[in-house]
């Protein structure tokens, strides 16, 4: 006897030549729809961003809200309040050499009545270090000590264990992790 069972509610087949990692999927109300409905956001190493709004049952083409090529491999996705002076959720996309924050906007209506959705770049951070080469490994987001929970920051870990912190749209500081051979998992507990 088992206490747990699984039941498939919805599934979609994504490109057969695409590769994904554990950090390239998240779930959020990324278009900030008033009813709070959750969307599934995926990103591939081939640079394709997709946003799905499952409405139950079998996959239908209407479930795909956005499919956009971003031009670089997507290493990780996360959502949060990354736009200064805004109470809207945004999407942070980590690429090997840069970190980009996007807003997803409904065009020509709202919710189901929208004609299409647009991926609008809010800002971008080029990941570089004056002393050495910087290639991103992973990232984590959080308030990082701020009392304002609607203001989230980002921390990017490089492949050699260096941490770069960004307070929304501006660079804060960088620090190395001593004796680091490869990047490890990051988690913020606030």
Query: Tens of pLDDT along 35-83?
Result: 889 999 999 999 999 999 998 778 888 899 999 999 999 999 999 999 9
β 48-52/39-43 pair status: antiparallel
Which has the higher per-residue pLDDT, 34 or 77? 77
Which has the higher per-residue pLDDT, 137 or 134? 137
Which pLDDT value is given to residue 89? 96
Q: Is the pLDDT score of 97 beyond 90?
A: yes
Distances 112 to 19, 40, 67 between C-alpha atoms, Å = 30, 16, 17
Q: How confident is the model at residue 182 (pLDDT cuts 50, 70, 90)?
A: confident
């Amino acid at each position: 006897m088992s206490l747990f069972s699984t039941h498939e509610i919805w599934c979609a087949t994504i490109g057969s030549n695409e590769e994904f990692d554990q950090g390239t999927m998240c779930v959020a109300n990324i278009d900030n729809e008033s009813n709070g409905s959750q969307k599934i956001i995926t990103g591939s190493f081939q640079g394709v961003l997709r946003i799905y709004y499952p409405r139950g049952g079998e996959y239908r083409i209407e479930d795909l809200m956005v499919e956009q090529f971003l031009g670089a491999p997507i290493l990780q996705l996360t959502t949060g309040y990354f736009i200064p002076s805004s109470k809207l959720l945004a999407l942070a996309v980590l690429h090997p050499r840069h970190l980009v924050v996007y807003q997803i906007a409904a065009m020509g209506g709202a919710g189901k009545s929208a004609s299409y959705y647009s991926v609008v770049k809010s800002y971008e951070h080029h990941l570089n270090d004056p002393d050495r080469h910087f290639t991103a490994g992973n990232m984590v987001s959080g308030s990082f000590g701020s009392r304002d929970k609607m203001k989230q920051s980002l921390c990017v870990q490089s492949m050699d264990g260096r941490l770069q912190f960004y307070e929304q749209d501006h660079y804060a500081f960088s620090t190395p992790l001593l004796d680091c051979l490869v990047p490890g998992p990051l988690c913020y507990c606030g």
